[in-house]
Amino acid sequence: MGELVLAAKITHVPSIWMDLTIEKFRGIRENAITGLRELGKRAHDRGAETFLIFDTHWIVNQGFHVNAQRKHAGVFTSPELPHMLSDMEYAYNGDPELAVSIADAINDTGLRAIAHDTPNLGYEYGTLVPMHLMNPEADIRVVSMAANQFASIEEGRQAGAAIARTIAASGRKVAVLASGSLSHQFWPNAVSAEGLNSVNTEFNRQVDLRVLDLWSQGRFEEFLLMLPDYAQRCYGECAMIDTAMLFGVLGWDRYGGRGEMIGDYFGSSGTGQCNVEFVL
């Protein structure tokens, strides 16, 4: 039998790479870097064999998609923010068997999913930034799963539940990561540089903090009732489909754990960010 050994909502902001590579910005994301490294350590300590990442920067418009390549290697520069994230080298082993099983299980629900063994389908930074810190020796396999920006919260729940069944039947120890922000409202262009370390609007910040409180208290029924409105009103990244899939994996409103913040909440270019592990 397989096992879910870690479940977390994580940040992937490109300013992490700025901290790591540009002296001028050294230290601005120490909180996020420390949190990702700690989560990586926990995954290793629990014997994780595969990271499954719901990547909100691999954005799709139809269906659910999983990268099923056996080997991944390249050099990544973000076309969105090349001044923040460039020349990141990477090389990871994939897990095509798990990827194909996930797609099959989602298809069995009546939703549509495809596992891709396509040489030119590279990783996005929602996968690469966390893996750089969580998987520095590349000794854990990596499967990236796309975020459908038009999928409903309910579809995300169903896909996540199918993924949970797949993990249980896989024989794998799997760490599941929802790689995306909390609120996701960027600053207008004219003030974007000045807003590098802050959240756009006090409303978004307060809702994010309330969500983190609900998670820490284990009040997930309330959170899930507010999730559709939260995603809409706080500009959820890919409509927070990564979060819906993560909670689907956890069992939705039957999940009885709590969220543990790994580091502090912070703002990045207007968006709200935090690393949170959901205790199993």
Q: What is the pLDDT of residues 198-230, one digit of tens each?
A: 999 999 999 999 999 999 999 999 999 999 999
What's the whole-number mean pLDDT along residues 251-273?
A: 98
Whether residue 78 contacts residue 84, with contact meaning beta carbons closer than 8 Å, is answered with yes
Q: What is the pLDDT of residues 6-52, one digit of tens each?
A: 999 999 999 999 999 999 999 999 999 999 999 999 999 999 999 99
Sign of CA dihedral 172, 124, 89, 29: negative
Instruction: Give the pLDDT of residue 122.
Output: 93
Instruction: Give the pLDDT of residue 134.
Output: 98
Distance separating the N- and C-terminal Cα atoms of the chain: 17
Instruction: Give the pLDDT of residue 127.
Output: 98
What's the whole-number mean pLDDT along residues 243-265?
A: 98
> Percent of the chain, pLDDT > 70?
100
What's the whole-number mean pLDDT along residues 183-208?
A: 97
**Domain residue spans in the chain?**
3-278
* Threshold 0.95, pTM exceeds: yes
Instruction: Give the pLDDT of residue 229.
Output: 98
At a CB cut-off of 8 Å and minimum separation 6, what does 188 contact?
none
Instruction: Give the pLDDT of residue 44.
Output: 98
Instruction: Give the pLDDT of residue 149.
Output: 97
Whether residue 246 contacts residue 160, with contact meaning beta carbons closer than 8 Å, is answered with yes
Whether residue 98 contacts residue 166, with contact meaning beta carbons closer than 8 Å, is answered with yes
Give the chain's mean pLDDT: 98
CA gap 52, 104 in Å, rounded? 16
Instruction: Give the pLDDT of residue 166.
Output: 98
**Across-strand partners of 90?**
74
Phi/psi of residue 65, nearest 5 degrees: -130, 140
What's the whole-number mean pLDDT along residues 80-87?
A: 96
Instruction: Give the pLDDT of residue 236.
Output: 97
**Across-strand partners of 52?**
143, 176
> What is 3-278's CATH topology?
Protocatechuate 4,5-dioxygenase; Chain B (3.40.830)
Instruction: Give the pLDDT of residue 31.
Output: 98
The angle formed by the CA atoms of residues 133, 53 and 200, to the nearest 5 degrees, is 75
CA gap 65, 52 in Å, rounded? 12
Confidence of residue 93 (pLDDT cuts 50, 70, 90): very high
Instruction: Give the pLDDT of residue 121.
Output: 95
Instruction: Give the pLDDT of residue 53.
Output: 99
What's the whole-number mean pLDDT along residues 227-234?
A: 98
Q: What is the pLDDT of residues 95-120, one digit of tens each?
A: 999 999 999 999 999 999 999 999 99
